[in-house]
Chain A
Amino acid sequence: EPEVTQTPSHQVTQMGQEVILRCVPISNHLYFYWYRQILGQKVEFLVSFYNNEISEKSEIFDDQFSVERPDGSNFTLKIRSTKLEDSAMYFCASRPGTGAYEQYFGPGTRLTVT
């Protein structure tokens, strides 16, 4: 069964460093998402991406964040200068297309900023 994959599973970085989180969405899906979950809190929407551009972003997704689909399979989230409060699980999700709204999540990347 197709699934969303994410790498790395755990990333430790120092405050101020740049990190790139990688995702491979399900191959025939058209919409891609990043979410964040701080430990013990709810899943929060960061950004949605369709047709090679951001379609919506939350107030969390400030200028320190960017997303890219560099080729036909990968979808990345970059945090330019990490802060302690960026420590969280980051989930990538994808959904098939227009008329199908269910999203399929990857296993997540645990980001620890020290």
Chain B
Amino acid sequence: QKEVEQDPGPLSVPEGAIVSLNCTYSNSAFQYFMWYRQYSRKGPELLMYTYSSGNKEDGRFTAQVDKSSKYISLFIRDSQPSDSATYLCAMLPYGQNFVFGPGTRLSVLP
């Protein structure tokens, strides 16, 4: 079983839709969770980070962590064509280094 799993997509949605992106993980030692957005041939851009179970909101983005189910989600409200990118989850156990998911490719259609 891979440490971090993500549906690779592509996920296509119409402009204005609510998007739900998800990662599951197997290592219960993961403590810190990040979401990155990566445009083609660019560096990952940090969107959200959270260190605890529950929800965290920032503008149109909401990050949700359920440590008991080993499941994290990123919701994007009122999606825009500029949100079209690959979304990477990343997580790490205390004192160690990031493990990235393979990414979900999102396409928001005008």
Contacts and interface: CB of A to CB of B under 8 A. Distances in A.
13 contacts: A43-B44, A43-B90, A45-B99, A56-B96, A101-B49, A102-B46, A105-B36, A105-B44, A106-B43, A107-B43, A108-B41, A108-B43, A110-B41
Contact of A42 (B32, B34, B45, B102): B102
A101 B32 contact: yes
A33 B46 CA distance: 15
Nearest to A44: B100
Contacts, number: 51
Interface in B69-110: 88, 90, 92, 96-103
A108 B90 CA distance: 18
B32 A91 contact: no
B87 to A, nearest CB: 12
A8 to B, nearest CB: 14
Interface residues of B, number: 22
Interface of B: 32, 34, 36, 41-46, 49, 51, 88, 90, 92, 96-103
Which of A44, A45, A56 has the most CB atoms of chain B within a 10 A radius of its CB?
A45
B109 to A, nearest CB: 23
Nearest to A56: B97
A105 B45 CA distance: 7
A43 B86 CA distance: 12
Nearest to B45: A105
A103 B96 contact: no
Given A42-B102, A42-B103, A43-B88, A105 B96 contact: no
A42 B49 contact: no
